[in-house]
Amino acid sequence: MLTAEWVKNEQTGQRKPSTNLWIYDRETGQKRYSVTTVAGAKIQPYFQVPTIDDPNLVHIDLRHDDAGNPVAWVKKKTAERLERLLGSGWTVTDLENAIALARASKGDAHEGVDLEHARQITLSAPSRDLLDLVAGPTDDVRMDQVLDQLEEERSASNS
């Protein structure tokens, strides 16, 4: 069973004044909906976030695959670059060595992330730890820095 009350909100800053209908669960007193009409029609549902011990809570781990192996998510372009630099049959050890080599590189410059398709790359636990130490906000940016360093090292050794 639900109950409701009208609530007037005064204008604050650029926010228009409005009158909302707040709808509550009569038994628990928890707000379930807010209906706004004056400042732009909308119905906003409210919901309870389950506690960490709730058996219905779903945990999503994007840093490990289903077998528990560490993974990194990078753009398709980065995955293709990785394959070009390490070879099509690269191993997690190859990647771990490349990350360790690039770990000493400096700089946080990176491009904005676009919406290309992402690729999952399986890592070893040590390479996951090393990749986390490379400066950057995302796995893709950190992997780009690793690949930049790897390209520099290869260019220097070929000169």
Structure tokens at 132: 């986390």
C-alpha 69/C-alpha 88 separation (Å) is 20
Structure-model confidence comparison of residues 113 and 152, the more confident one: 152
C-alpha 91/C-alpha 88 separation (Å) is 9
User: pLDDT (tens digit, 9 = 90+) per residue, 108-132?
Assistant: 333 443 435 677 888 888 888 888 8
pLDDT value for 32:
94
What's the whole-number average pLDDT of the chain? 82
pLDDT value for 19:
85
Q: How confident is the model at residue 31 (pLDDT cuts 50, 70, 90)?
A: very high
User: If DSSP codes are grouped into helix, strand and coil, which group holds residue 25?
Assistant: strand
C-alpha 115/C-alpha 84 separation (Å) is 21
Q: Determine the number of helices (DSSP H) and then strands (DSSP E) in the chain.
A: 4, 6
Question: At residue 18, does pLDDT exceed 90?
Answer: no
